[in-house]
Amino acid sequence: MLDLVRDTAPASPAGPSARVTTRWQDDRGETFAVGMADGPVRWIDWRDIGRFQFEGSSPQVLFRPASPGAPVPTTLFARAIQPLILQAQGWPALHASAAAGAHGAVLFCGLSGSGKSTLAYAMTRVAGYRQLADDVVVLRSGEAGWQVVPLPFRARLRPTAAAHFAAAAPGTAGTPPVPAPVPLRLVVVLDQQPDAPSLPQIQPIASVRMFSIYLTHAHCFDEADRAAVERMVTHYLSMADTVRAIRLTYRPDFPALDRLVSTLADLAADTRRP
């Protein structure tokens, strides 16, 4: 969707009017990227990689490497940086994972370690499902409602999950993304608890509560940009009102995964419910 163009000019120091908009940190709390804005010009400085600069809604992104002669990081850009820039340009983006089947997309959100990647990958073991996104999901509003925008991604499973799926029959995760946006059919908010009942608990989520959950898991490039924040609020109010959402309370149990994702696929296919 975005065009990454190498810029031969070196990245200049930020001017006096430039400001930090956001910081991205790894699991150890170390900052690996910083979002900046200076008037209409915005950029992301990615540690050891370089600067990705964009302006307004232009699809062109200028890349200025951290070191001369460094290759253009096309894979990193497509999978990790492009969704962040799209969000800055007005596309809603959630810290979530998703899979798509014949009836539409199922989106998984929750706290770190709640099983978003594992369940999105496990959905590929249901006939007709493929994984759409991992870690970040970009959305758009269409005539038929909210849709998941397919972008390049890499399945990021924790070691225990990767070992489980390696020993099981392979799914279809990692296949090329579908060419067109997929209707968002169901949002699953994950609540993984080691001492939860053996049978997963599924409860509907009211729209008022779901709105606050969306904000909790939303990416936001610049919280000081009032227009952008108002647009984001409008988007998530609409999603909360129109997309079915459930809370899934479950305990980690790899042998029970197939049964669990089959249940979720049945819920997504239930045309009697909005």
Between CA 52 and CA 264 the distance in angstroms is 38
Q: How far apart are CA 222 and CA 54, in angstroms?
A: 14
| Residue 8: partners with Cβ closer than 8 Å, 6 or more residues away | none
pLDDT at 156: 81
CATH numbers and ranges of domains, the chain = 3-88 (no CATH), 93-269 (3.90.228.20)
What mean pLDDT value characterizes the chain? 90
At residue 266, the pLDDT reads 92
Per-residue confidence (pLDDT) for residue 273, from 0 to 100 = 55
How sure is the predictor about 176, in pLDDT bands with cuts at 50, 70 and 90?
very low
List, for residues 192-234, the tens digit of each pLDDT value: 999 988 899 999 999 999 999 999 999 999 999 999 999 999 9
Determine the average pLDDT of the residues in 9-31. Answer: 86
pLDDT of amino acid 223: 96
**Torsion from C-alpha of 181, 132, 219, 253, nearest 10 degrees:** 140
User: What pLDDT does residue 163 have?
Assistant: 84
Q: Between the CA atoms of 112, 155, 27 and 68, what dihedral angle is there, to the nearest 10 degrees? A: -150
Mean pLDDT of 95-113: 94
Reading the block at residue 195, the tokens are: 């001492």
What pLDDT shows up at residue 208? 97
What is the tens place of the pLDDT at every residue in 51-85?
A: 999 999 999 999 999 988 889 999 999 999 999 99
Q: Are 169 and 135 in contact (CB under 8 A)?
A: no
The share of the chain scoring above pLDDT 70, in percent, equals 93
The residue ranges of DSSP E strands in the chain, in sequence order, are 3-6, 19-25, 31-38, 41-46, 50-55, 60-65, 93-94, 96-101, 104-109, 130-133, 137-142, 145-149, 182-192, 201-204, 245-250
Say if residue 253's pLDDT is above 60.
Answer: yes
Give the sign of the dihedral formed by CA 189, CA 195, CA 197, CA 198.
positive
State the first-to-last Cα distance of the chain, in angstroms, to the nearest integer: 30
Query: What is this structure's pTM?
Result: 0.89
- Strands 137-142, 245-250: pairing is unpaired
